Amino acid sequence: MKELIKIELKKMSLKKEVRNLVITNVVIPLIALAPLMAPPGLGDEASFLVDLIIRATFIVWQSILISSLVVGEIKTKTLMQLYTYPIKRSTLIIAKVGLIFVIVLGFSLITNLIQHSLFSGLALILPNFSYPLSLSAIVGMVISGTSAVMLAMMTLTVGVWMKSTIAPIVTSFLIVSLMGSFNGFSLANNLAFMMMMGVVGIVCVLFSIHEITKNDLIV
């Protein structure tokens, strides 16, 4: 399994993903600063806006990785061709999906730490700029963010079901839209809902792995 993960990391190009992480943490403040600093500001919703941008970014990012590294390889029938030693199909897919989950979750938590620290710091030095952030809000963001990454695993299920590498990415945008704010209300603010949907996402991906393995599915 260790060697398998090393191979998958090389295929994923971790250096490229880290570079993308750096770029992401530069771009997010540029997107969020304008609405946050425009009078009269967003008040208590400021941290939620930043959190929503982060979640949207990583849900789409995760779907792209799933599309290229899992669905794409199954579709082109190259999933097993790059390995010279016998590997169970289920083990390979679990390793791929698990690696994507860990990397995206880790990058998401790092970005949350960087961005919320940055905006909290700016609130201390910029006049007329408020960025309230409580401990309970931070805990909620971690739980909701983790649930969002779990939910985004559902994009694998859609990609396999529709036999398409585009479907996971389209699905990720639908998930982001679902979490958006409507008349001041957002489903992403409801921790119970996000946790429930996260569990649904994990159940869906486990079912997909089972079906791929059972039916030797080539999409």
Task: Report the C-alpha dihedral over residues 163, 166, 169, 172, rounded to 10 degrees.
Answer: -50
Question: In the predicted model, is pLDDT for residue 102 greater than 50?
Answer: yes
pLDDT at 216 over 80: no
Q: What is the DSSP letter of 38?
A: S
Kindly give, in sequence order, each residue whose CB lies less than 8 Å from that of residue 202, ignoring residues fewer than 6 positions away. 150, 153
Q: Give how far Cα 95 sits from Cα of 35, 39, 83, 117, Å.
A: 40, 48, 14, 33
Judge whether residue 184 has pLDDT over 50: no
Residue 129 has pLDDT above 50, yes or no: yes
pLDDT given at position 49: 78
Q: Is the pLDDT score of 41 beyond 80?
A: no
| Spatial separation of the C-alpha atoms in residues 31 and 119, rounded to whole Å | 12
| Mean pLDDT score across all residues of the chain | 80
User: pTM here?
Assistant: 0.84
pLDDT band (50, 70, 90) for residue 144: confident
pLDDT category at 161 given cuts 50, 70, 90 is confident
pLDDT > 70? residue 84: no
